Amino acid sequence: MKKQAEKDKLTALYERLSHDDERAGESVSIENQKRILEDYARKNGFTNIRHFTDDGIRGTTFKRPGLDAMLDEIRAGNVATVIIKDQSRIGRDVVEVGLLKRTFDEYNVRFIAANDNLDTANGFDIMSIFRDVINEWYVADTSRKIKTVFKSRMEKGLRCSGSVCYGYLASKEDKGEWVIDEEAAAVVRRIFQSVLAGETIASIAKALRAEKIPIPSEHWKRIGEPVRAAKYADPYAWSATTIGYILKRPEYTGQKVLGKTVCENYKTKSTRKTAPEEQHIFEGAIPAIVDEETWQTVQKIRETVRRAPKRQNAPNRLTGLLYCADCGSKLTHRYNLVQGKWIEDAFICSGYRQLTHDCTMHHIPTSKIEAAILAVIQRVSWYVQNNEKEFTERVREASDHQQEQTVKECKKKISKAQKRHKELDGLVKKLYEGNATGKIPDKHFTRLLNEYDEEQTGLETSMEEWQRQIENWNADRLKTDQFIQLVKRYTDFSELTTPMLNEFIEKVVVHEGEGRGNDRRQRIDIYLNFIGAFEVPDYIITPSEVEEHRRLQEEQAAKEARSKELAKARYEKRKQDKREFTARKKAGLLTPEEQEAEEKRLAHNREWQKEWREKRKASEPEKPHKKSIKELMEIEKTGADLTPEESERLASHRRKKADQQKARRERKKAEQPEEKVS
């Protein structure tokens, strides 16, 4: 019965073929393996055969449908013998193959490799171990050779992958080159411009879905190009992930970027993203869909986390551009209903009243900062349009001055670091001498030596960086030409649009305000892209500033006229009310309440006038006592000296009295009758 049961068990014939094996030709094909194994089984008397096959699976992978099905039969006790063409068919991993052989031994399964003369029925074969090692080495060596070939191709700018970015197509003449797919490129440009206009990724995806613009996979399918993601339910289902992937691709600026991922393990085929210094970048190797400035601006916008306030659907467009002048933190947008009456739309320092560091508020209304930004853009743009040559010269002068200051600071730092480095050399020498003579114990010697060595290493790194800044400084790094081209792209500067804000402004530094109300003053430093904090000469007056000045004057004049009209109307009304009240008072028509109120008013006025007179009298200085003429005469009789003023007063009094007496005598003389002459 036992022998009959053994005869009923299966003879498993296992075949495996990988894509790499296909290059070897017909000799390792599945059909060829089956024919070899069937011939071997027939010649050696094996019956009840069943094929277990894995087609297109690597030897380093041990999750295979055919292999798993065979192992299930083995564990069920249904297999007596396993036959393969050679040991590499079962796998190319020494550890995993060893575990499989242990499983065969555990279930008393005979294992045969036909071409390798391996049969476990003949006992242990040490050469099988070496064959397993060689099989794994073959995979490792193949992987190394492929990596070398790929690296060589990438260094020459040749692609190793057939995948193409959305917006491009593989050239029909040269599959390694890309050409622009105008239909898809228009969508790419629209996505970038939408981000510049302040739209969120979700709103862009929603708009594309609403207009039924096909997703990349559907677009490739319609034009007959290879499709990566063949399974998708909705051909217009744009997602934030897809749009975000498009926005971060540097290829759209004309860069050919090779080696963005690398295979870390040839067994698991696991990959990792490479660092920028590991990649091979070729500028201008493919046609650009968006310009470099637009791409960089979009990356800067996406780096800032923007959240929409509770009462708004979209975040504020200034978020991420405003910085605190004192602590360097970004300013946070506040959009709150204050006391249920008015909405506060302003920015404050994100470090205000924080646990880690407490900064001042730096409060600035959104409307004021936007008006200041628009005024700067208008002023600088007009200056560029009308004084381009002078603008270029001023920017370069500012750059040269900044260069001179930076180089001077770097040289000063290098000199100081060199001096300290030399001091440390002397300290290390003395440290060795002290340790050699036994004055410094080994424990302290080791600690101090490590500290000195660490400090010297830091100084050397810093000096290299400062020297690099001196050598690589470029006086024209502010890219005035790019700013001039940016200005020329705009024809209307009357309104601050979101694209204008994102393209012109690098950052805005806000200082703490001083004063309150209409007297509040606050400094704002506005840095423009490419040229920094540029200031137009004070003598330049732009037409927009003239128009703004005229508008403000008209508004002020209208406000003053309105105030005068209101004041005049209030005065006339009070005057009319007073006349009516006086008439009623004289006629005795006042009510008791009005009479009482009038008496209180009059009493209050009298009391107020009394207090006012007393205060005025108390505030006036006491007048000095002025001596009378009689007192001056008495003083003169005593022989005491008089002041010049007093002497003049006394003399004037006497002249006046003399004139009066003379006039009286003349008057009496004139009144007497004339005597007749006989």
Q: What is the domain-level CATH number for residue 26?
A: 3.40.50.1390
Q: Find residue 347's DSSP bridge partners.
A: 333, 364
Cα-Cα-Cα-Cα torsion 149, 153, 158, 164, nearest 10 degrees, comes to 40
Angle at 99 between CA 98 and CA 101, to 5 degrees: 65
Last residue of a domain, one of 152, 175, 199: 152
Instruction: Indicate whether 110 and 163 sit together in one domain.
Output: no
Q: Does 186 fall in a domain?
A: yes
Which tens digit of pLDDT belongs to each residue from 411-423? 888 888 888 888 8
Say which residue, 338 or 88, is predicted with more confidence. Answer: 88
pLDDT of residue 565: 94
Residue 4 pLDDT exceeds 80: no
Q: Which amino acid is at 568?
A: K
Neighbouring residues of 127: CB distance < 8 A, sequence distance ≥ 6:
118
Instruction: Indicate whether 245 and 116 sit together in one domain.
Output: no
Asked if residue 270 lies in contact with residue 264, where contact means CB atoms within 8 angstroms, the answer is yes
**Mean pLDDT within 283-289:** 89
Instruction: Indicate whether 471 and 410 sit together in one domain.
Output: yes
- Is 591 in a helix, a strand, or coil? coil
**Mean pLDDT within 507-512:** 93
Question: Which helix or strand (DSSP H or E) is residue 204 part of?
Answer: helix 201-210
Pick from 102, 97, 89: nearest CA to 54: 89
C-alpha distance across the termini of the chain, in Å = 210
Pick from 306, 504, 488: nearest CA to 382: 488
Q: Does 677 fall in a domain?
A: no
Q: Does 289 fall in a domain?
A: yes
- Is 2 in a helix, a strand, or coil? helix
Task: Please give the order of strands across the beta sheet that includes 322-324.
Answer: 322-324, 505-510, 524-528
pTM for the structure as a whole: 0.62
Of 293-297, 376-380, 624-628, 633-637, the range with the lowest mean pLDDT is 624-628
pLDDT of residue 545: 87
Q: Does 531 fall in a domain?
A: yes
Residue 194 pLDDT exceeds 60: yes
Residue 438 pLDDT exceeds 90: no
Q: Does 184 fall in a domain?
A: yes
What are the b/e assignments for 533-560, b being 16+ CB within 10 Å? Answer: ebebeeeeebebeeeeeeeeeeeeeeee
Instruction: Indicate whether 64 and 208 sit together in one domain.
Output: no
Q: What is the largest CA-CA distance in the chain?
A: 210
Last residue of a domain, one of 116, 136, 152: 152
Instruction: Indicate whether 523 and 580 sit together in one domain.
Output: no
pLDDT band at 512 (very low <50, low <70, confident <90, very high): very high
Which tens digit of pLDDT belongs to each residue from 171-189? 888 877 889 999 999 999 9
pLDDT band at 476 (very low <50, low <70, confident <90, very high): very low
Pick from 85, 71, 68: nearest CA to 21: 85
- Count the domains in the chain: 5
Instruction: Indicate whether 141 and 241 sit together in one domain.
Output: no
Residue 131 pLDDT exceeds 90: no
pLDDT of residue 193: 92
pLDDT band at 23 (very low <50, low <70, confident <90, very high): low
Mean pLDDT of the chain: 85
**Mean pLDDT within 295-302:** 88
Of 308-312, 313-317, 587-591, the range with the lowest mean pLDDT is 308-312
The domain that holds 244 is classified in CATH as: 3.90.1750.20
Pick from 146, 72, 86: nearest CA to 114: 86
Question: Which helix or strand (DSSP H or E) is residue 469 part of?
Answer: helix 442-472
pLDDT band at 574 (very low <50, low <70, confident <90, very high): very high
Q: Does 552 fall in a domain?
A: yes
Q: How large is the angle between the packed helices 442-472 and 388-436, nearest 10 degrees?
A: 160
Instruction: Indicate whether 426 and 526 sit together in one domain.
Output: yes
Residue 111 pLDDT exceeds 90: yes
Instruction: Indicate whether 376 and 524 sit together in one domain.
Output: yes
Instruction: Indicate whether 534 and 553 sit together in one domain.
Output: no
Q: Does 426 fall in a domain?
A: yes
Asked if residue 314 lies in contact with residue 330, where contact means CB atoms within 8 angstroms, the answer is no
- Name the DSSP class of 521: B
Residue-number span of the structural domain to which 532 is assigned: 364-540
Rounded Cα–Cα distance for residues 517 and 573 (Å): 31
Instruction: Indicate whether 351 and 401 sit together in one domain.
Output: no
Residue 563 pLDDT exceeds 60: yes
pLDDT band at 402 (very low <50, low <70, confident <90, very high): low
Last residue of a domain, one of 126, 152, 178: 152
Rounded Cα–Cα distance for residues 274 and 251 (Å): 16
Instruction: Indicate whether 49 and 144 sit together in one domain.
Output: yes
pLDDT of residue 315: 80
Instruction: Indicate whether 370 and 469 sit together in one domain.
Output: yes
Q: How many residues does the chain have?
A: 678
pLDDT of residue 28: 66
Say which residue, 311 or 117, is predicted with more confidence. Answer: 117
pLDDT of residue 377: 92
